[in-house]
């Protein structure tokens, strides 16, 4: 009985003649389980998968669009509060007083003014408005306070005394004061927090917060026409020396009207780029920078287009552009009410408290 030889394997099924060590290594590599990680997240529509980690460029654009969505320097008509009914001339006097008082008042008075404006903002403004405004002003003032408190007099000077110590001369040592004046308030490693740094930092930080928040309160509760008319009322004596008060008032009115257009354009262009779903991971650094430059150019182009449209509308309505050939009428209701009287009394009380704090508080 003849024995049949086994048929040879095909070429693609033959195993090469390898050494035992090399064959073991090959087998171990081929049998190692592969690890494949798929990290994705579903979008709102549910049929597309994107990476869960948001790109930095898209985060920046979304932050810009969210930051410009709240009214900054724009009039908020509702809810109607007592600050809306205060005469705009009294508001301008309040603004001037709040700018001058922190620089010459005591540190307690400065922080008191900050707390007063913060409480007034939470009472007058809507919730989404005062949270945004107070957050930005507090962040800016806090960073300024830390930088100036540790930077103005934070590093002790490396000097050597020119007089010999008392033990060398034969004089008794001067006893240190236990509860008296101390120039050094706190020491943080190599840095020190002194009274000079506290004074400079508190003045700058409180003044910055008061200026930004008081101006924001005034613009939020006063229409641009009222602010322009109040400024024209104060500048009216300058017409005797031929100062173009009407032109200055009109420029201020157009500037206040233009603030909302600028924020709208910044937000709309940013939202337009975000909604295009750009694959930022596939772009190089220069392409990403080019998109941001295109974003800035688009903003300026739209703003200039709005300015041209406003100028053409004014020319069509008969505005010649010469102050000697036209007159601008801005009417102001000068009737004083209870809110105006209360505001004046509060202003005089604030000025008196600032003067007394400077005199009697050490």
Which DSSP string corresponds to 136-160? HHHHHHHHHHHHHHHHSS-SPP---
d(C-alpha 357, C-alpha 361), whole Å: 5
State the residue for tokens 């552009």. Answer: 321
Residue 297 has a pLDDT of: 92
Residue 92 has a pLDDT of: 92
191, 106, 208, 215 alpha-carbon torsion, rounded to 10°: 170
Residue 38 has a pLDDT of: 39
Residue 166 has a pLDDT of: 67
* Buried-state track 330-360, b at ≥16 Cβ within 10 A, e below 16: beeeeeeeebbeebbeeeeebeebbeebeee
Residue 53 has a pLDDT of: 41
Both structure tokens of 285: 């650094």
Residue 273 has a pLDDT of: 86
Helix/strand/coil for 224: helix
State the residue for tokens 């220069």. Answer: 286
* Whole-prediction pTM: 0.70
d(C-alpha 190, C-alpha 187), whole Å: 8
d(C-alpha 358, C-alpha 243), whole Å: 38
244-261 pLDDT tens trace = 888 888 888 888 888 888
Q: Which parts of the chain register pLDDT below 50? A: 1-7, 9-54
């Amino acid at each position: 009985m003849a024995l049949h030889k086994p048929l040879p394997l095909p070429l693609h099924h033959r195993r090469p003649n390898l050494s035992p060590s090399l064959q073991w290594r090959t087998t171990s590599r081929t049998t190692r389980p592969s690890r494949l990680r798929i990290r994705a997240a579903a979008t709102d529509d549910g049929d597309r998968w994107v990476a869960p980690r948001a790109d930095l460029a898209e985060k920046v654009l979304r932050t810009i669009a969210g930051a410009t969505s709240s009214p900054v320097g724009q009039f908020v008509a509702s809810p109607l509060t007592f600050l809306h009914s205060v005469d705009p001339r009294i508001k301008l006097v309040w603004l001037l007083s709040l700018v001058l008082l922190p620089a010459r008042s005591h540190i307690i008075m400065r922080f008191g003014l900050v707390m007063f404006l913060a409480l007034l903002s939470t009472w007058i403004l809507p919730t989404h408005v005062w949270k945004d405004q107070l957050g930005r002003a507090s962040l800016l003032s806090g960073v300024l306070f830390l930088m100036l408190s540790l930077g103005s007099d934070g590093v002790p000077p490396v000097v050597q005394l020119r007089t010999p110590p008392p033990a060398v001369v034969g004089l008794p040592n001067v006893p240190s004061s236990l509860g008296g004046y101390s120039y050094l308030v706190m020491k943080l490693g190599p840095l020190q927090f002194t009274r000079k740094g506290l004074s400079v930092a508190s003045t700058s930080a409180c003044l910055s917060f008061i200026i930004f928040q008081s101006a924001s309160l005034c613009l939020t509760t006063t229409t641009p026409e009222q602010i322009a008319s109040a400024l024209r009322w104060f500048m009216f004596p300058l017409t005797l020396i031929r100062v173009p008060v009407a032109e200055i008032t009109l420029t201020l009115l157009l500037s206040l009207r233009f603030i909302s257009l600028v924020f709208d354009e910044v937000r709309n262009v940013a939202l337009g780029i975000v909604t295009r779903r750009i694959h930022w991971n596939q772009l190089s650094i220069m392409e990403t920078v080019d998109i941001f430059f295109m974003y800035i150019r688009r903003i300026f182009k739209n703003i200039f287009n709005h300015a041209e449209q406003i100028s053409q509308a004014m020319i069509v309505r008969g505005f010649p552009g010469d102050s000697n050939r036209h007159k601008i009428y801005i009417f102001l209701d000068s009737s004083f009410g209870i809110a105006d009287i209360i505001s004046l009394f509060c202003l005089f009380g604030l000025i008196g408290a600032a003067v007394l704090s400077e005199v009697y508080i050490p």
